[in-house]
């Protein structure tokens, strides 16, 4: 999505905020701004012109969104895995290794799956849940890996903020 907007005539830069909720688009003139707003509406997003920051946050350009994805993957893994380990009476020392594996798997899932505005809701959640299940099967066994994949999918579907809870 960033790349689509970035390639539009008159656009000088596009950034997404840390939570992935806002885009900040710098465009040349008023006609360029109007064209960007129209394109965002076509893609199914709300858009408006602002003179200040729409959100107090760190902004990411297209070439460093992978950094944001890595951070979010780590937050989700640190939120879900320890609870999963406790609920399944797994050895506590397994939590760190499993958290690292889940974070790495989620990051890979986030950066390799392209989701468009018209993609069915939950597409990325299912893909990432399956990826975690597959990545942890050897370590956890089929049943527990499936359970962890479903826990990751549920966490993603809950649309939680990036703050660990």
Who has greater pLDDT, 120 or 135? 135
Instruction: Output b/e per residue, 114-145; b: 16+ Cβ within 10 A.
Output: eeeeeeeeeebbebbbbbbbebbbeebeeebb
* % the chain with pLDDT above 70: 73
Ranges of each domain in the chain: 2-57, 63-157
Who has greater pLDDT, 150 or 156? 150
End-to-end Cα, the chain, rounded Å: 29
Task: Report the predicted TM-score, pTM, of the whole model to 2 decimal places.
Answer: 0.60
Residues 133 and 149: beta-carbon distance below 8 Å: yes
Q: How confident is the model at residue 161 (pLDDT cuts 50, 70, 90)?
A: very low
**What CATH number does domain 2-57 carry, 2.60.40, 2.40.50, 3.30.70, 1.10.287?**
3.30.70
């Amino acid at each position: 999505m960033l790349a689509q907007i970035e390639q539009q005539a008159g656009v000088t830069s596009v950034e997404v905020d840390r939570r992935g909720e806002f885009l900040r688009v710098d465009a040349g003139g008023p006609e360029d701004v109007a064209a960007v707003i129209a394109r965002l509406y076509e893609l199914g997003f709300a858009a408006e012109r602002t003179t200040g920051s729409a959100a107090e946050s760190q902004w990411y350009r297209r070439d460093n969104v992978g950094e944001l994805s890595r951070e979010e993957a780590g937050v989700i893994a640190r939120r879900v895995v320890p609870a999963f380990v406790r609920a399944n009476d797994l050895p506590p020392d397994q939590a760190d290794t499993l958290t690292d594996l889940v974070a790495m798997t989620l990051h890979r899932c986030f950066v390799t799956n392209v989701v468009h505005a018209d993609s069915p809701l939950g597409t990325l959640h299912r893909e990432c849940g399956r990826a975690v299940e597959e990545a942890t099967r050897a370590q956890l066994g089929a049943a527990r890996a499936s359970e962890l994949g479903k826990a990751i999918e549920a966490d993603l579907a809950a649309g939680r903020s990036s703050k660990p809870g």
